[in-house]
Amino acid sequence: MPITRDEVAHLARLSRLALSDEELDHLAPQLDQIISAVAQVQEVAADGIPPTTHATGLVNVFRSDEPVPCLTPEQALSGAPAVELQRFKVPRILVEE
Amino acid sequence: MSELIKKTAAELAAAVTAGEASAVEVTQAHLDQIAAVDGQVRAFLHVAADDALAQARAVDRKRAAGEPLGALAGVPVAVKDLFTTVGMPTTCGSKILQGWRPPYESTVTGRLRDAGAVLIGKTNMDEFAMGSSTENSGFGPSRNPWNLAKVPGGSSGGSAAAVAAFEAPLALGTDTGGSIRQPASVCGVVGTKPTYGGNSRYGVVAFASSLDTPGPFGRTVLDAALLHEAMSGHDPMDSTSVDAPVPPVVEAARHGDVAGLRIGIVSEFSGDGYQPGVMTRFTEAVELLESLGAKVTEVSCPHFKYALPAYYLIAPSEVSSNLARFDGMRYGLRTGSGSAEEVMAATREAGFGAEAKRRIMLGTYALSSGYYDAYYGKAQQVRTLIIRDFDAAFAQVDVLISPPTPTTAFDIGERADNPMAMYLADLCTIPSNLAGNAAISVPIGLAPEDGLPVGLQVMAPPLADDRLYRVAAAVETAFTERWGHPLLAEAKGISR
């Protein structure tokens, strides 16, 4: 089932990528080609095979809860595009309907 | 050209420790080489000349004061630009992080500083480590020192090129699907993907967290082992770091030996798509290993053919999650106007290159409701089957071998807009990432048809990294004796 240009546009919105029309035209057939190729995994008989999320087998790694030095506010904010009152300043997040 | 840049890291550390050369002299010699050739090679995104000389002076002061020096005293190391480094920018080859100066140091680079290494600069890479050529860098491609029209491989292509061009004796890379072994192979240097969890990912900007593995490049097997040992070990700052002793890789590199070793050739990694010259050299390496007393057999790993498709579901899925942090709010680029969501979408559109966008969307698709089981879920099951293939193989043999990549270095531009062709460069390296085991690429000669380097991949079970070095050192010694010189002595791509 080929992936359509509309589906790719939807994926771009979900991914917070403001793609141009030219990029959509270019990426849609590429994504379709890649998805058909990786769909090969569906040929593998894997009923009852447990999934692997990571290779080390480690589960629930804990450390003792001890205070240690951390970044200063100045360090934490040092790369921020905008700062106000020792906080990250961001564009408005609520839009009036 | 200073003779100092021709020396190995082992020789340089010994010379600095003995006071036969100062760390400042060694660093300056490499900075001079960078100034002379990097206009052609473009291995570096940032050359930290003043910072490196200050680090070198600190090593020389320690020596003068009679303080103990580390294993890499005064040895310059080029650092892939996704390790966070205090005092140097960290861009991951992406415009979205252009000019970013991280407020904290990665564990690995911190350990190298403690070992007396001099971090000389940050190297070019495919954006966020996604690619096999450095052409996905937001700042232009690096070039292969054997032939400047060819790619140096990727994603750690800048690091491989820097070592091959004698700009640094050692370099750090990361290997998520082959990003150390493939560039090492096509640049004619040694590169290792250590066991997953053997090296801390703290301060390594995440691409695919379950696969990302920091590792070393060197011009010799022993040099790679020295860097491997200095950077490795458990780190409480990375919960996926394994609390186990570092495998004795330096000891193994000093005692190359394959007598009686059981070596398996992965039968799936040959045939269509493999360049004849790559297979010529591979066959020659097999004969060499047999002549050195190894017992070589063929081993089938039937699910390896599904490793590439599984990887291109798992890695993009993790990417779509990991790269969500680049939202223009706390660091890096911010552009556009309107609501936070509009600014995010505009920032990511402007800051990410084509491959990052492709993979983010691919991962978003694979994780979508309705597709998850058919794609991401299935890929995770294939991952289990690949681990089982390795387990069955390592029950019969001590190490597995294959070409690291099907071809020698390809032309810049040749695969740049053909993602599936580019992905094939990782065909033979991906299984070890999915299984989290250890693998190395060591030079075994030049392909007759194009005169470009070919590597041999050796794979070992998790935490048996020392086996890689034992085999690679034996191969290196025997071939260097046969050739009468190190392979890199034949590299003539850079004009002087």
Q: b/e string for B411-437 if b means 16 or more Cβ within 10 A?
A: ebebbbeebeebbbbbbbbbbbbbbbb
- Shortest distance between the Cα of A68 and any Cα of chain B, in A, equals 12
Go through the domains of chain B in sequence order and give each one's CATH number. 3-303+384-490 (3.90.1300.10)
pLDDT of residue A97: 62
Asked whether residue A1 carries a pLDDT value surpassing 70, the answer given is: no
Give A-chain residues touching B103 at CB under 8 angstroms.
71, 75-76, 78-79
Nearest CB to B240: which of A40, A49, A56? A56
- Interface contact B375, partner A, CB < 8 A: yes
Nearest CB to B343: which of A17, A53, A91? A91
> Is B155 among the catalytic positions?
yes
pLDDT digits (tens, 9 = 90+) for B317-350: 999 999 999 999 999 999 999 999 999 999 999 9
Subunit contact B375:A41, Cβ cutoff 8 A: yes
What is the reported pTM? 0.97
Subunit contact A11:B336, Cβ cutoff 8 A: no
Residue in B closest to A35 by C-alpha? B362
Mean pLDDT value of segment A50-73: 91
Average pLDDT, chain A: 92
B140 and B163 Cβ atoms separated by less than 8 Å:
no
Structure tokens at B330: 């706390």
Nearest CB to B381: which of A40, A49, A78? A49
Subunit contact B378:A27, Cβ cutoff 8 A: no
Q: What is A1-44's CATH number, 1.10.260.40, 3.20.20.70, 1.10.20.60, 3.40.50.1110?
A: 1.10.20.60
Give B-chain residues touching A12 at CB under 8 angstroms.
357, 361
Structure tokens at B133: 């050529």
Residue with structure tokens 């057939």?
A29
> Is B80 among the catalytic positions?
yes
Give B-chain residues touching A24 at CB under 8 angstroms.
none
- Shortest distance between the Cα of A10 and any Cα of chain B, in A, equals 10
Domain boundaries, chain A: 1-44
Of residues B132, B133, B137, B155, which has the active-site annotation?
B155
> Which residue of A1, A19, A24, A34 to mutate against B (max B Cβ within 10 Å)?
A34
* CA separation for the pair B408, B278 (Å, rounded): 7
Nearest CB to A56: which of B324, B360, B436? B436
- Shortest distance between the Cα of A4 and any Cα of chain B, in A, equals 12
> Is B22 among the catalytic positions?
no
Subunit contact B337:A91, Cβ cutoff 8 A: yes
Q: Is residue B294 left, alpha or beta, with left meaning phi > 0 and alpha meaning psi from -120 to 50?
A: beta
Per-position pLDDT tens, chain B of length 496: 689 999 999 999 999 999 999 999 999 999 999 999 999 999 999 999 999 999 999 999 999 999 999 999 999 999 999 999 999 999 999 999 999 999 999 999 999 999 999 999 999 999 999 999 999 999 999 999 999 999 999 999 999 999 999 999 999 999 999 999 999 999 999 999 999 999 999 999 999 999 999 999 999 999 999 999 999 999 999 999 999 999 999 999 999 999 999 999 999 999 999 999 999 999 999 999 999 999 999 999 999 999 999 999 999 999 999 999 999 999 999 999 999 999 999 999 999 999 999 999 999 999 998 999 999 999 999 999 999 999 999 999 999 999 999 999 999 999 988 999 999 999 999 999 999 999 999 999 999 999 999 999 999 999 999 999 999 999 999 999 999 999 999 999 998 7
Subunit contact A80:B331, Cβ cutoff 8 A: yes
Subunit contact A30:B358, Cβ cutoff 8 A: yes
Q: From residue B45, give the alpha-carbon distance in Å to each of B34, B38, B298.
A: 12, 10, 43
Q: How many CB atoms lie within 10 A of CB B472?
A: 29
Percent of chain B with pLDDT over 70: 100
* CA separation for the pair B444, B349 (Å, rounded): 43
Give A-chain residues touching B384 at CB under 8 angstroms.
46, 49-52
* CA separation for the pair B363, B343 (Å, rounded): 22
ipTM: 0.95
Indicate the residue type of A11: L
